[in-house]
């Protein structure tokens, strides 16, 4: 059986589904919440992704991954790629 994964990172949570590529049957899934607020440290999004992947049994047996997301905000990075401030989300009128 060939497995494929779908990952969705949205405003409220990160969701992972693992399906049989031939039949579409759901094999396993999980979800990890994102924090509430108008300003969020992007590291929380990465942590939620890692948690959701682990709760879904990992990706070692997965042949392909599709990622989708809806995040309304800019992630500011320094020259080394490190996050330098929380991201302002869609519901924070300072980012309008």
The label of the residue with tokens 């042949």 reads 63
pLDDT at 92 over 90: no
Delineate the domains of the chain, giving CATH numbers in brackets: 3-95 (3.30.420.40)
- DSSP H helices in 1-96: 43-55
84-to-7, 41, 70, 75 alpha-carbon distances in Å:
25, 9, 21, 8
34 assigned binding-site residue: no
Contacts 24+ apart (CB under 8 A), 5-8: 5/56, 5/59, 5/62, 5/64, 5/65, 5/66, 6/65, 6/66, 6/67, 6/68, 7/49, 7/52, 7/53, 7/65, 7/66, 7/67, 7/68, 8/67, 8/68, 8/69
12 assigned binding-site residue: no
pLDDT at 96 over 80: no
Q: Over the stretch 45-76, which tens digit does the pLDDT of each residue have?
A: 999 999 999 999 999 999 999 999 876 678 99
What is the reported pTM? 0.85
């Amino acid at each position: 059986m060939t497995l494929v994964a779908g990952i969705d990172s949205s405003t409220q949570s990160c969701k992972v589904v693992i399906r049989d590529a031939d039949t579409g049957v759901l094999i396993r899934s999980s979800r990890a919440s994102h924090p509430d607020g108008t300003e969020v440290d992007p590291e929380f999004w990465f942590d939620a992704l890692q948690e959701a992947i682990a709760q879904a049994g990992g990706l070692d047996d997965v042949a392909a991954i599709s990622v989708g997301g809806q995040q309304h905000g800019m992630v500011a990075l320094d020259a080394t790629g490190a996050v330098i401030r929380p991201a302002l989300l869609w519901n924070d009128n300072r980012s309008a």
